[in-house]
Structure 1
């Protein structure tokens, strides 16, 4: 056993949980370090408070004089919470959050200094941002990028720093972050959904998209993780023989939470609550050492910010408890990977969830309107939705036995399918008054009763209706939710906008009542989007064949999937809906295709290093031990040693075979990598990595894992799956 692995195991065995005491009620902890409405009422003047609330609710601008008032009050509040610095907290296209800390400090001459934070520093800053991904939007000498305050997401104190959520844009105005397009999409879905909701309630003046994410993750002992260069550098295990016991018995799922993990969870939850992240649920997931955390639903922009913040907090709290948290979608072969289910809905300012049925036919007609329009949007833009969750890491998960397939489909349950079928099959042309009455009373009126028993969540569906929301299950655990949420809210906004135009035109042309027009338009949408609805097993080969007949896409790799991000229809969609212009869209494609290539490049290099510098030398060392053993047997038994040393000889030969194959394939992989690196076109380079480099990963792993099974456990240098997955 290597010294590092031995020390890691010894350190882990002596580990004891940190005792976390909960001295106050969680409700008292919640948002203690957030400059929310409660804090603003206490610290701001009425004029400043009203200005911030108008900015949040109506999108009005905040004047510079008011910004100075707000910044001074925010500084006083932050200092009372122990803050010494401030930062514009943003989400560049790296997948991580970014921050540059400046002190509340300024000299005023004569050796004196004051704490200062002005309105200009609150509203806008100019970080040196030349090294962030920009997809060709800027040259290095055009390093200027601006961060601008997003008042809809409240500032918070994290450690000793006041964090101000901001957008991040180039000096020419193009978005360089995840937040800017999301905010634009949320604004568009608000406008479109409000216009449609007014058909049913004139009091609706605003519609918010809501999001509840479910964060899955693995917790690995930090010392064991350090003994694995692949985990440290790629977030997953590139090698490793399966443990004899994995998840076969389903004994970890929803089981008793291990005491050390529970201590981590308590600490994490306290940190989250103070920061205003409304965490509520925790449990063991299916795979050993896999867990899940979920919050109460929030407005989508705030929920996205909270998930990005959570992932950062999780890493820091994990370090305190001597854990390493793994967000990779597939860190271990042979056991379930991790997702981040995005539960999405629309909610009005009058308190109505538009995807939740009510007690009256009119309320349920409103539900059906938003329900069917969402299905139609997914049907029309299924390729773009697939592209929104594409990544090198999620490629390992999609289509495996614990995750949805790469084919986007919608599951609504057999009962709701029957409702849509009945709506579809009424008289062609104009619906008669009697049919309208029957539909309202006998079909639409019974939806709440139907949904009481409609609890079957098809776990193989990437986009499922689950009672009062849609669950986008294909989103990966590493992902920033903004990517998927920008697409989903944009396509739904586009669809609702078209629906309103069609209904109004139908009313004018046929001189019918509003309900008649809505039913007729919805009926056509049901027919047009029927191909996207699927109630069966998404893992079956039969579904792949059926999906092909339905002309649904089946992009199994990221390079294939990402192409739809720069299609003519996508660019037209984003430009029409004011989400992104062509330059911004193409830049994001370049960033994502380049990231895909770089991740495979890093994994290839790490795999080559591990296999040739760790595995092969260890195998040779053990082989030499066996050879010495065989020599000794020959001295004792003479020519009869062949019979006695039969097993040893077999192992020696097996080791030689696997070493030969590893060396051969690593060299071939390196050559293919060199060829790929020489390609200038980013799309062709990504395809070269996907088709010519990546296939070596599994074959090299196969031979390394065979050696792990042959070589003496005491010599093996890397922490094994049984240690990584069952040390708690």
Structure 2
């Protein structure tokens, strides 16, 4: 019988547990597992043997090079390749890889974003092997490369990457959760982790069309373009039948991801035309983060094999839904228990209610910083309207939990839970369906969905490390105070009930089960004094909030210096993105749109003159009116172009930092919109044969 393809290929490119058992001596294997599972220090002897086994496995699979694969503050991954070759004599090459090379690498730290942590002349930085995330093989035009997940830090020890703070936050959460669990007789639990599943939304467009659009090439989104007659209003693309070309892409994508040990589970068409989604099964936060980076890289690579381009920008097309990345987060023990699972009687589950109240408090007290963790320039274009969570961070609990919370606030304890029912669909041949105890709310940025929280604000192109670092750290900090209080209590049960009630009463303002898209919610949020942060520049200020600094330093996740550097990186990144977009618009308008429009109006004027010469009595009012309208819009275009050039020059000459970012947000971005408006209007008037770039209709519906 032929093997199933999933079983046949899954994990074949991963240095996983089965491979370690095969290539490592039993004692070495046990030593490495102790480091992975218990955080014990890895001895140099064990590292050398692991390096040898890893090299032998890689060579057996055709590898010629290895790399320390890390995640700098660019938000994407980085790597430097070294071959296994080591010349021992003039006659032959020896293949070597030792523990020192496995554990430590030395990339140039000053060439990555550092926010002032590294000056240009201070180049030294280090990558350090993260043995908790398995090494893997990547096969491409370079051949087969052994990729070793690593952390990245400066010569002076500060984190220069996304992974290091995430690992620190996991340790902080582990420490405080274990303190809480000792009060609930969870004697078998020795370690916890946060479980994460990151749903990934993306667009697929024809690559030939993509290459004709400088805005897509340089910025990832269309800076010009008007909607076609049909968009997503018929709601026929969502969950629709997957067309052949995209299906071939998805089939190959799944196989490539399965080889890398990524549990690719779900695939479907999303709401917007040409938009799709892939969702994996949950894994630990660290591995899930590494996997999501690989998902994005693999999507890009596989798409090009099918002459497609995968767009991960949050808003590649104005007027249709953008893309996000829903980050499903929960806390699990090494005994397999999900601490955010309510159980059959959640009103009696005091352990669950305590962790629930801790998350509610953490989100309420750190809403602005949580919003920051999902911020990039693309997400500013996506938030709000009827497609994405609003900029207001709130929590959806659902009918069952909201009822329990209200009981606890009013009475100190809850006495009952709303039970799920069975639904009769009304057709005898169909089975009755058991309903969940609560509905779902797609408008909530932070929704409880049965046994986890779904953080729906994360941007589609972002690393999920930042969002999970903030969640882990802020929840850990709340749990530390709770553990201190319970440790000092004389009557634990009474203290527990009082703690849960007080926490829910003080932080219930962040709970909202209604329509997050409505204007009424904005007004209500103002009344509740919830932070409303509409853009990345304002969100970045929360890095330097005294409360943020206190929490992240207390949990040993980010120091003041590291927080300051990340704020500076954010401001610089925002300015650079908008500057690139502005320069792209200037170039496209100057070299493509304006010449094309001039060509059209010249042709139109010539047509009018020819008609008048051939037949003076002919009525050319339609052509004349069209000529006048196009000429007026052309003049508006030129004026807007001149303004954008002027303000862009001012912005690029300003010192990097907050003031420059604010200028790009308020002045340059406004000028960009002013240039787009007349050109988009002209697209509806100018001959399609003359228009210089593929239209939205071409890209969204021709794939």
Task: Report the TM range for the smaller structure's normalisation.
Answer: over 0.9
**Structure 2: how far apart are the matches of 1:246 and 1:461?**
24
Deviation at 1:692, TM superposition (A): 0.7
- Say if 1:236 and 1:328, in contact at 8 Å, map to a contact too: yes
| Equivalence for 1:535 | 513
**Structure 2: how far apart are the matches of 1:123 and 1:448?**
52
**Structure 2: how far apart are the matches of 1:649 and 1:388?**
54
Matching of residue 211 in structure 1 with residue 191 in structure 2: no
| Equivalence for 2:630 | 655
Deviation at 1:180, TM superposition (A): 0.1
Post-superposition CA distance 1:527-563 (Å, at most 9, x none)? 1111101111112221111111111111111111110
CA gap of 1:176–1:361, structure 2 versus 1, over 3 A, is closer
| Equivalence for 1:170 | 154
- Say if 2:109 and 2:154, in contact at 8 Å, map to a contact too: no
Runs of 5+ unmatched residues, structure 1: 1-21, 428-435
| Equivalence for 1:220 | 205
Runs of 5+ unmatched residues, structure 2: 423-433
SS in 2 for 1:464: strand
**Structure 1: how far apart are the matches of 2:574 and 2:7?**
42
SS in 2 for 1:169: strand
SS in 1 for 2:63: coil
User: Which of the residues 86, 89, 107 maps onto 2:69?
Assistant: 89
Post-superposition CA distance 1:237-291 (Å, at most 9, x none)? 0011111011010111001101110100010110000101110100000000100
**Structure 1: how far apart are the matches of 2:36 and 2:260?**
19
SS in 2 for 1:587: helix
**Structure 1: how far apart are the matches of 2:690 and 2:640?**
24
Matching of residue 309 in structure 1 with residue 294 in structure 2: yes
Deviation at 1:363, TM superposition (A): 7.1
Deviation at 1:361, TM superposition (A): 6.7
SS in 2 for 1:425: helix
CA gap of 1:650–1:417, structure 2 versus 1, over 3 A, is same
Q: Number of aligned pairs?
A: 686
Deviation at 1:135, TM superposition (A): 0.6
| Equivalence for 1:192 | 176
SS in 1 for 2:31: helix
User: Which of the residues 652, 669, 689 maps onto 1:694?
Assistant: 669
- Say if 1:181 and 1:579, in contact at 8 Å, map to a contact too: yes
| Equivalence for 2:112 | 132
**Structure 2: how far apart are the matches of 1:344 and 1:449?**
27
Answer 1 or 2: higher relative contact order, Cα 8 Å, separation at least 6: 1
**Structure 2: how far apart are the matches of 1:453 and 1:216?**
26
Structure 1 segment 91-130 matched on structure 2, within 5 A: 91-130=71-110
User: Which of the residues 595, 604, 610 maps onto 2:582?
Assistant: 604
- Say if 1:669 and 1:696, in contact at 8 Å, map to a contact too: yes
SS in 2 for 1:216: strand
**Structure 1: how far apart are the matches of 2:453 and 2:475?**
12
**Structure 2: how far apart are the matches of 1:690 and 1:651?**
35
**Structure 2: how far apart are the matches of 1:454 and 1:626?**
65
User: Which of the residues 136, 160, 165 maps onto 1:181?
Assistant: 165
Deviation at 1:370, TM superposition (A): 1.1
Post-superposition CA distance 1:624-654 (Å, at most 9, x none)? 111111111211332x34xx11111111111
- Say if 2:347 and 2:416, in contact at 8 Å, map to a contact too: no
User: Which of the residues 486, 496, 500 maps onto 1:518?
Assistant: 496
**Structure 1: how far apart are the matches of 2:98 and 2:233?**
59
- Say if 1:357 and 1:363, in contact at 8 Å, map to a contact too: no
**Structure 1: how far apart are the matches of 2:182 and 2:645?**
61
| Equivalence for 1:485 | 468
| Equivalence for 1:678 | 653
**Structure 2: how far apart are the matches of 1:605 and 1:77?**
48
- Say if 1:30 and 1:274, in contact at 8 Å, map to a contact too: yes
Matching of residue 549 in structure 1 with residue 527 in structure 2: yes
| Equivalence for 2:273 | 288
CA gap of 1:71–1:447, structure 2 versus 1, over 3 A, is farther
**Structure 2: how far apart are the matches of 1:171 and 1:447?**
57
**Structure 2: how far apart are the matches of 1:335 and 1:410?**
26
**Structure 1: how far apart are the matches of 2:344 and 2:526?**
40
Deviation at 1:688, TM superposition (A): 0.5
| Equivalence for 1:366 | 351
CA gap of 1:448–1:373, structure 2 versus 1, over 3 A, is farther
**Structure 1: how far apart are the matches of 2:145 and 2:39?**
27
Post-superposition CA distance 1:457-477 (Å, at most 9, x none)? 211110000111000000010
CA gap of 1:184–1:448, structure 2 versus 1, over 3 A, is farther
- Say if 1:391 and 1:558, in contact at 8 Å, map to a contact too: yes
User: Which of the residues 402, 406, 409 maps onto 2:391?
Assistant: 406
SS in 2 for 1:379: helix
- Say if 2:227 and 2:696, in contact at 8 Å, map to a contact too: yes
- Say if 1:182 and 1:301, in contact at 8 Å, map to a contact too: yes
User: Which of the residues 434, 447, 451 maps onto 1:464?
Assistant: 447
Matching of residue 239 in structure 1 with residue 224 in structure 2: yes
User: Which of the residues 338, 341, 344 maps onto 2:326?
Assistant: 341
CA gap of 1:101–1:23, structure 2 versus 1, over 3 A, is farther
Deviation at 1:575, TM superposition (A): 0.6
Post-superposition CA distance 1:377-407 (Å, at most 9, x none)? 1011101101111111110001131100011
SS in 2 for 1:603: helix
- Say if 2:240 and 2:269, in contact at 8 Å, map to a contact too: yes
Deviation at 1:452, TM superposition (A): 5.2
User: Which of the residues 216, 238, 243 maps onto 1:258?
Assistant: 243
User: Which of the residues 493, 499, 503 maps onto 2:482?
Assistant: 499
**Structure 1: how far apart are the matches of 2:531 and 2:564?**
21
Structure 1 segment 131-150 matched on structure 2, within 5 A: 131-150=111-130
| Equivalence for 2:688 | 713
| Equivalence for 2:135 | 155
Deviation at 1:131, TM superposition (A): 1.1
- Say if 1:214 and 1:340, in contact at 8 Å, map to a contact too: yes
- Say if 2:604 and 2:623, in contact at 8 Å, map to a contact too: yes
SS in 1 for 2:88: strand
Deviation at 1:677, TM superposition (A): 2.4
Deviation at 1:448, TM superposition (A): 7.6
**Structure 1: how far apart are the matches of 2:550 and 2:42?**
32
| Equivalence for 1:5 | none
**Structure 2: how far apart are the matches of 1:419 and 1:66?**
52
- Say if 2:400 and 2:438, in contact at 8 Å, map to a contact too: no
- Say if 2:321 and 2:387, in contact at 8 Å, map to a contact too: yes
SS in 2 for 1:237: coil
| Equivalence for 1:570 | 548
**Structure 2: how far apart are the matches of 1:330 and 1:308?**
19
SS in 1 for 2:315: coil
Deviation at 1:24, TM superposition (A): 4.2
Deviation at 1:681, TM superposition (A): 5.0
Deviation at 1:456, TM superposition (A): 2.0
**Structure 2: how far apart are the matches of 1:449 and 1:573?**
43
SS in 2 for 1:443: coil
- Say if 1:357 and 1:448, in contact at 8 Å, map to a contact too: no
| Equivalence for 1:59 | 39
| Equivalence for 1:14 | none
- Say if 2:399 and 2:439, in contact at 8 Å, map to a contact too: no
CA gap of 1:663–1:532, structure 2 versus 1, over 3 A, is same
SS in 1 for 2:416: helix
SS in 1 for 2:337: coil
Post-superposition CA distance 1:480-515 (Å, at most 9, x none)? 00010100110011111111112233x22xxx2x23
